[in-house]
Structure 1
Amino acid sequence: MTAPQTRFMPFDVEAARRDFPILSETVYGKRLSFLDSAASAQKPRSVIAAEVDLYEHSYANIHRGVYKFSQDATEAYEGAREKARAFINARSASECLFVRGATEGINLVAQTWGRQNIGAGDEIILTWLEHHSNIVPWQMLAEEKGAVIRVVPLMDDGTVDMDAYRALLNERTKLVAVAHISNSIGTVLPVGEMIDLAHSAGAVTLIDGCQAAPHMRLDMQALEADFYAFSAHKMYGPTGIGVLYGKEALLDAMPPWQGGGDMISTVSFEGTTYNDLPYKFEAGTPNIAGGIAFGAAIEYLKQLDFDALHAHEMDLLNYATEKLSSFNSLRIIGPDPLTGTQKGALISFVMECAHPHDIGTILDRQGVAVRAGHHCAQPVMDRFGIPGTVRVSFGLYNTRKDVDQLADGLQKVIELFG
C-alpha cells in the first residue's frame, strides 16, 4: 500500500538532532536509534543547561525568601508557569497547577473534585484505551464512593466506538476521563466531540494529554476541557514535573489535596485558611529546577514550526508503516495511517515468531531502543488478545535512517526466530 502524498515545509531534523547530546552516543558499537519517546523523550542542551545553571549560579527556595537568589528563582519558576499557560492557551496562569506529572494530576482530581462530586450510583466513563494512570484512580474512587465505571469499547481498527459512547452518556454520568492520544496504539481520540457530548449530558471532562502535548498545538479555550493533564518529560523536559490544567471555577470549589507550606494563607491551632490558586494545590517545596527546565523545554518547542514538525513525524509514521508492513510475520495493532486514519507518532506491533521482550532485546543489540510489553495499558492488550506489543515511537529528532535501522534489526529477529 502506498502512503498518501503529503506536502509540507521541510523540518530541519539534522539541526534538531545536534541539540540533543545523547544522540551522539553509541550502543554496543552501533549508532543509537532512539524510538521510545512516548515513554520519555530525550533532552536538548537548553533544558539540561537550565537545571545546571540554577544549581551552579542562583539556587534558592522560592516564594518565601527576600534575598536575590530566592527572588530570582521564584521569578524563573513562575515564569515557567506562564510559559505553560501560553503553550496551552489557558485563560490564566492560576489554572495551571504544577504537579509531579500527569499521574499526580489525575490523582489530584480524583481525590479532590471526585470525592466532593461523585457518589453512590454515579457513573464515570473511560475508554478501553486508557493508561493505567487514568484507570486506577477512578477505580479507587468508585470503590470508595459506590460509583460505577463504564467503558467505551474499541472498534477492530483501534478507534473508539462513538455510537457506544453516546449510548453510555446519561443523567448519572458525572465524569468522562479519556486520553487525547493512546500511548499504546496511537489512536487519536475525537476529544473535542467527546467533550461537547459530555457537557451536553452535564458531565465534567478530564483529558490525559501526555501523548498530545509534544506533538500538537493545544488550546484549552477552544477545546473546553474541564481538566487537562500532561508531563514535562514527554515534552523534552525533565522528569518529576507536569501540569494539571483546570478551569478556575472548578479549582476554586475543590478542597486542597495535601497540606503544608505554600498552600496555606494562615495557620493556627484554631484553624487554617488556604492560599489562592494555584498555590492551594502546591504543598511543600516544589521541583524548582525541574519547573525552570520545563520552561526551557516549552521555549524549545515554541521556536519550532509545529506544522512542519507534524508533517515530519507523519512522514516517518507512514514510512515506518510501509516498512513494517513488508514483513509477513508482523502485525500492526491499531489504526492504519496509510488509509488516512489520524494517528499519533507511534506504531505497536507483534510478530508471530518472537515474544515482544525478545524482539526488544535483539533490537537493543542493534542500537535500536523500543518499548516492549503492555505499556501500562493492559486492557488494550486484552482487547486484542495479545500479551503485549513492541512499540516504536517517534520524536522530533528521528529520521528515516532510524526506521531503516529498525527494519534491519527486525530482519535479525526473523533470522534468529523465523
Structure 2
Amino acid sequence: MRSALLFSAVFGLAAAAPKAMPQEIELDYVDSLPTPTTGLGPAVEQVSATPTYDASAAASDAAQEISTAPIYTPTPSSSSKRGLRRGQLAKRTDCGPEPDGKGPSPGYDTSDTGFLNSPILANYANNAVAPAGYYLAPGFQNLKGSLSQIGYIGLYTFAQYDPSLCSAKCDQVCTCLGFDIYFERDPSITPAAACPNPAPFTNVKCTLYGYPVAAAAATNTGQWRGPVDSNNQAFHVVIAGSNGYIRSPPAPPALTNFTGPSALLPGAINAPYDPTTNKNTYLGMKLYNSGPFDPSQCAAACQAQTAYNTRHPATDRTYMPCNFFNAYVLSKNNIPQGTYCSFYSRTWDASYATNTGYYSGTTHYTVSNSYTYALTTPDPGHT
C-alpha cells in the first residue's frame, strides 16, 4: 500500500489538476508522530549534561528510514532516539551530599509552598535582563514550571541567577535556539530511608533547547523524591522563577551537495505547478522530532528519496528527483513539534514563501526558522 501511494502521488498526476498545489501542513502525519519519551528535559537528579547531539547519526538515520518509510508515508518511524546521546547520572550515596545548591535562599519559609511563593526568587526572575541576541519568550517569565519540550540538548547549574551565563552556553552550541533558567528546590542530601525528606537548598538551573522555547511547554512543576518521613511527607522538588529566552537564530550550517541556506520570511514554500511542464513539483514531507532543529536530516532524506525513486522509475524511465527542500520549525499552539521538511523537484524563490500556518479548529499551526536548500547539481529525473 505504501509503495502504491508513493507511485500514484509522484507519477500519476491527473491532466486536469489545478495549476497550484498548496503544500498544506500534513496534520494527520504531525499528530500521528509520537512524542519522544526521552529528550524533553533533564532528569530531576541531574545538575549538568553537556550537549552531545550527533548530527551525522541523525542524518544517517533519516536516510536509512527512506527505504522503509518514504517521504509520502503517513506512518513515521517508531524510533525516538535519533541522534541523541544522553549522559549517565552520577551514582549517589544514600544520605550523602547533593551537588551544588548554591542558589539564593527563598527567604522566610523553606517549605515547598514558601519556595513557590518566595518574593525573593520572584524578584530575580521579574528583573532579569534578556542577554544580547535573545528575547524573552512571550509569557515566559517567573513561571512555576520548567520546560518539558522536544529538542532538549543540555543542562548547567550556576551559583547565581543570571541569564547571560546561560546564553553564553547556548552561544557555544550551533543547534541551541533557546533556554530556560529557573530555581529548583532540591534536597541537600540524597533522600533515603535513614534520611527521608531532608532539608532543602536552591539550585539555579539552565536547560538548553534546539527549538524556540514556549511558555506553554513549561509543564514540569516538580516531582517527589525518596521515602516519606514520620509525617508521611517525601521531599518535594518544585520550580520557581522560570524564565525562557529565544535566541535570534543564526543561520543553520551549509550542507554538502546543496547551496544554501536561504532564509524565508515569514513562511514556508507553497509552490504551484511547474509552469514549463505543467507538473506538480511537490514530493512530500517528513517531520523529525527527537533532536534539535536540524536541516541536515532533510538533506539526507532528500537524497535518499531520489535514490529510492531512481530504483523505482516509471515505464518511460523517468522518476521524481528531490532537488530542493524547505526546512522549518513547525509549532502547534506555539509549542515546537519538530523539524518539518518539504521536498520539491525544482527550486522556488522566496516569493513563494506564503505558507505561514493556519488554524485547524482552535489549534494554531505556525512556521518559523524557515530555510531552503537547493541541490548544487540538479538531478534531471530520468535514467
What TM bracket, shorter-length normalisation? under 0.3
Higher strand share: 2
Between the two structures, name the one with larger relative contact order (CA 8 Å, sep ≥ 6).
Answer: 1
Higher helix share: 1
Larger Rg over CA atoms: 2
TM-score (norm 2): 0.27
